[in-house]
């Protein structure tokens, strides 16, 4: 990355962090105060808090970077997004169900994506007081302290859907313990990045805004997210939906990818 790009990346990361911090304050003004809630697609809740945060992020970030594209869970796509060199990818409140239930494990997720990959990302978790940041090639931090994935341990602490973990046991080659459900996918991936978890399976319904910032934080902490073919996700390129994924590091991640591959291989 050229020096000018380095400066631009630093500026983008600072922009994301400032916007996410203010967005977190907006979200907290609705937290535990019974915001109005609607159902989208018949089952997924969205609250007035989600919409207020989305509006703030969109207006603030696009005013600062009018040539960037915009993709978020709560906003219709801008028609020029696919023509933009860089795009913002945002989830105004990742973990809306936890937010509505008064649980602290939700976060503001914002990333800058270039050529399908995240280059700057922030997860601001106002109810827990944690802030995760990462810039490509510059490491990942939690509350301004560098973080790394955990060293191998026994049993390995794995999050994610129970059927995926159960189906993977024959491939994992080590003792695993499934942790309790964590509603925010982005926060769950951040817990892998800072070593509280070893890994997580991700069911085949995650979308760009769930993953982009968290994946960069994990990769800069020494981990990765991979699909059944061993490939990393790509973002802001068209369809935001992703198939089953695994998040982790080292031999455990390789075993999880093998389990995903076995689950998607047709049997004769």
CATH architecture of structural domain 156-264: 3-Layer(aba) Sandwich (3.40)
CATH 3.30.540.10 residue spans of the chain: 3-146
What pLDDT does residue 94 have? 97
3-state class of 176 per DSSP?
Answer: strand
Integer Cα distance of 84 and 67 in angstroms = 7
Q: Does residue 86 contact residue 112 with C-beta atoms inside 8 Å?
A: yes
* Whether residue 2 has pLDDT greater than 70: no
What pLDDT does residue 83 have? 78
Please provide the DSSP assignment of 53-76 as one string: HHHHHHHHHHHH-TTSEEEETTBP
Binned at pLDDT 50, 70 and 90, residue 4 comes out as: very low
Structure tokens at 149: 């994935």
What pLDDT does residue 10 have? 86
Tell which CATH classification among 3.30.540.10, 3.30.930.10, 3.40.50.720, 3.40.630.30 matches the domain 3-146.
Answer: 3.30.540.10
pLDDT in tens, 87-112: 999 999 999 999 999 999 999 999 99
Integer Cα distance of 195 and 215 in angstroms = 14
Q: pTM, whole model, 2 decimals?
A: 0.94
Q: Does residue 247 contact residue 187 with C-beta atoms inside 8 Å?
A: no
pLDDT in tens, 168-217: 999 998 899 999 999 999 999 999 999 999 999 999 989 999 999 999 99
Q: Cα 251 vs. chain centroid, distance in angstroms?
A: 22
Mean pLDDT of the chain: 93
Q: Give buried/exposed letters for 68-77 (b at 16+ CB in 10 A, else e).
A: bbbbbbbbee
Average pLDDT of span 213-241: 96
* Whether residue 3 has pLDDT greater than 60: no
CATH 3.40.190.80 residue spans of the chain: 156-264
């Amino acid at each position: 990355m050229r020096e000018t790009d380095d400066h631009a990346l630093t500026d983008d990361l600072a922009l994301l962090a400032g916007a996410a911090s203010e967005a977190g304050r907006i979200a907290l003004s609705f937290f535990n105060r019974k915001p109005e809630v609607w159902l989208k697609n018949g089952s997924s809740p969205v609250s007035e808090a989600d919409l207020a945060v989305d509006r703030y992020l969109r207006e603030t970030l696009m005013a600062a970077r009018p040539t960037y594209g915009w993709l978020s869970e709560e906003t219709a796509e801008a028609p020029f997004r696919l023509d933009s060199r860089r795009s913002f990818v945002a989830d105004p409140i990742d973990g809306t169900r936890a937010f509505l239930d008064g649980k602290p494990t939700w976060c503001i997720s914002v990333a800058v994506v270039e050529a399908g990959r995240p280059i700057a990302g922030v997860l601001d978790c106002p109810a827990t007081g944690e802030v995760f940041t990462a810039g490509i090639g510059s490491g990942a931090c939690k509350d301004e302290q560098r973080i790394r994935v955990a060293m191998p341990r026994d049993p390995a602490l794995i999050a994610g859907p129970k059927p995926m973990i159960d189906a993977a046991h024959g491939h994992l080659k080590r003792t695993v313990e499934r942790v309790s459900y964590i509603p925010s996918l982005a926060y769950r991936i951040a817990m892998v990045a800072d070593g509280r978890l070893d890994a997580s399976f991700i069911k085949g319904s995650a979308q760009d805004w769930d993953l982009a910032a968290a994946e960069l934080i994990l990769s800069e902490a020494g981990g990765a997210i991979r699909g059944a073919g061993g490939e990393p996700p790509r973002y802001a390129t068209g369809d935001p939906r992703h198939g089953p994924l695994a998040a982790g590091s080292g031999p455990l991640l390789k075993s999880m990818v093998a389990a995903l591959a076995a689950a998607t291989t047709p049997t004769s």
